[in-house]
């Protein structure tokens, strides 16, 4: 068994959970925050058997898209003025950042 941890954009989270339920996969959604943008994102935990990995990965790929996002300039107040960027910078936020972990034990009580 594997545990898939997928960090995705909030905009894709309903679509992904609907697709997972439709394909009969179980998942847990956690509200999370990106360390860089400091904006909300969604982390999915999906526990599933090894043989389903490929299908789950393609469901994630199909339902999550990458987007460009503007990062607002950070005020130099109290910080280092040398690193101050006075204009918004665009970064590409990926559709999904996925980690796969082996599951040692799975119980439901
Ligand atoms: P349980 O199987 O006891 O699961 C309770 C909660 O535990 C789930 O909430 C989910 O957040 C998490 N969970 C369970 N299995 C998981 C896994 N393999 N990976 C990640 N998280 C897992 P919900 O998703 O709201 O489900 C509530 C109850 O609805 C479930 O109780 C189950 O009896 C039923 N259920 C969930 N998904 C289903 C599906 N695709 N088809 C039929 N029944 C489903
Ligand atoms: P954030 O940390 O808010 O990052 C959003 C996007 O900003 C990233 O997209 C990347 O394009 C850019 N970025 C992040 N850190 C950067 C840095 N130090 N310098 C320059 N640009 C940077 P993604 O790479 O697609 O990541 C989307 C979200 O996935 C991240 O949101 C974070 O929550 C999570 N993530 C990505 N890589 C991770 C990792 N190795 N471990 C844990 N979480 C990760």
User: Rounded to the nearest 5 degrees, what angle is found at the Cα of 49, between the Cα atoms of 5 and 56?
Assistant: 50
In this prediction, residue 88 has a pLDDT band, given cuts at 50, 70 and 90, of: confident
**Per-residue confidence band for 86, with pLDDT thresholds at 50, 70 and 90:** confident
Say how many Å lie between the CA of residue 9 and the centre of ligand 2: 11
b (16+ CB within 10 A) / e for 33-59? eeeeeeeebbbbebebeeebeeebeeb
Indicate if ligand 1 lies below 6 Å from the C-beta of 45: yes
Which residue has better confidence, 61 or 74?
61
Residue 83 has pLDDT above 80, yes or no: no
Q: Which two tokens stand for residue 39?
A: 């904006």
The mean pLDDT value for 32-48 works out to 95
Residue 31: CB partners within 8 Å, gap ≥ 6? 40, 42, 43
Residue 72 banded pLDDT, cuts 50, 70, 90: confident
Alpha carbon of 108 to ligand 2 centroid (Å): 33
Q: Are strands 28-33 and 2-8 parallel, antiparallel or unpaired?
A: unpaired
Residue of minimum CA distance from atom 12 in ligand 1: 28
- How many whole angstroms separate alpha carbon 40 and alpha carbon 99? 19
Q: Left, alpha or beta for 24 (phi > 0: left; psi -120 to 50: alpha)? A: left
Instruction: Determine how many CB atoms are found less than 10 A away from the CB of residue 14.
Output: 12
pLDDT reported for residue 84 = 64
């Amino acid at each position: 068994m594997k545990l898939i941890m997928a960090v995705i954009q909030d905009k894709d989270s309903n679509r992904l959970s609907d697709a997972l339920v439709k394909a009969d996969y179980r998942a847990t959604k956690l509200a999370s925050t990106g360390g860089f943008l400091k904006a909300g994102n969604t982390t999915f935990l999906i526990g599933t058997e090894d043989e389903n990995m490929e299908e789950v990965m393609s469901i994630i790929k199909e339902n999550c898209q990458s987007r460009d996002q503007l990062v607002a300039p950070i005020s130099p107040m109290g910080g280092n003025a040398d690193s101050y960027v006075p204009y918004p910078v665009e970064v590409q936020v990926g559709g999904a950042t996925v980690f796969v972990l082996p599951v040692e034990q799975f119980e439901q009580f």
